[in-house]
Amino acid sequence: MPGKGSYSVDMKIGVIGPGAMGCMFAGYLKKGGQDVYLLDCLLERAKNLQSAGIFIQGVRGDLQIKVPVTTKASEIGPVDLVLVWVKAYQTETAMQQHADLLDKNTLIWSAQNGLGNHAALARVAPAEQILGGSTTLGANLIGEGRVHHAGEGDTYIGELDGSISGRVKEVAATLTNAGIKVVEKTDINKVIWKKLLVNTAINALTAIMRVRNGALVEQAALVRVMQAVVEEGVQAAESQGINFDQADVFALVKDVALRTGQNQSSMLQDVLAGERTEIDFINGAIARLGAYPVNQTLTDLIHAIEASPGDLE
């Protein structure tokens, strides 16, 4: 594996998952001059993306760019860096399917939602090759290979053991050259938890209520539920040795809901599309850490919606 003092910005990169974030990162990295490949699990979609390319619109204008797309990692061979951009429940399967991207020198970076992705990756690849990450970039998939880049934000990267390393700087420099604002963090696990706490308070509620993010702060009843979710989440984080000020987290949650007021959360989008959600890796991850009844109830309600979305139009 690359030593923690190694440093380079020319990388061969495999991006797993042709969703909004996968296509956006692949497109920007390709534009930035990197040797990038997009990995898909569906042959027909891969062929379409290979032919049509990736189209990104939004806050940076329009970008139409061709990125090599395949379902067979064996056609690419080992890469320097793997970016994992599949749904949390797909992580282990996707990494197994594309294991030919890996050798002892490959770095793996996940900035996916929720808890449990790094553990899933470590069941396929050596844990010491995995880097932690998070991002506040906003993107929505509006069609195959078509992405709306809805908002800028920071992207975070760090060693999971909290150390400072050259390889973190290597990946950060590569992303920076692609126009992605990167912050290197020694406390990347706390960053991941902070995003988790925001998602627990917003995603499930918007999906259950069928509302955009901003609607959550307009009703006192929903605000109280969000506050209870945050309270449990902060307690769960503390049980894992990660400390937050509850008032600060709740203020952040309300701020995010307001700033993204017109957005549909990813969980709401999944529910509306009749697709499986990431609830088990968000509120469900909190519920599994102890007696946290509000998070458990939200998890159960989302599971009920997934099983039977209802018979009324």
- The catalytic site residues sit at 195
Tell me how many degrees the CA angle 250-299-140 measures, rounded to the nearest 5.
70
DSSP string for 184-250:
E-S-HHHHHHHHHHHHHHHHHHHHHHT--GGGGGG-HHHHHHHHHHHHHHHHHHHHTT----HHHHH
Alpha helices by DSSP H, the chain:
20-31, 43-52, 91-97, 117-122, 166-177, 188-209, 220-239, 246-259, 266-272, 283-287, 293-307
Residue whose entry in the numeric block shows the structure tokens 């061979």: 77
Neighbours of 183 (CB within 10 A): 14
User: Do the beta carbons of residue 138 and residue 151 sit within 8 Å?
Assistant: yes
Give the torsion sign (CA, 273, 274, 276, 279).
positive
User: Do the beta carbons of residue 7 and residue 164 sit within 8 Å?
Assistant: no
Residue 146 vs residues 30, 63, 81, 123, 267: alpha-carbon distances, Å:
15, 10, 24, 32, 19
Give the torsion sign (CA, 63, 168, 117, 236).
negative
Residue whose entry in the numeric block shows the structure tokens 């069941």: 123
Report the run of H or E that residue 147 belongs to, with start and end: strand 146-151
Under DSSP, is residue 71 helix (H, G, I), strand (E, B) or coil? coil
Q: How many residues does the chain have?
A: 313
Work out the widest C-alpha separation in the chain, in whole angstroms. 59
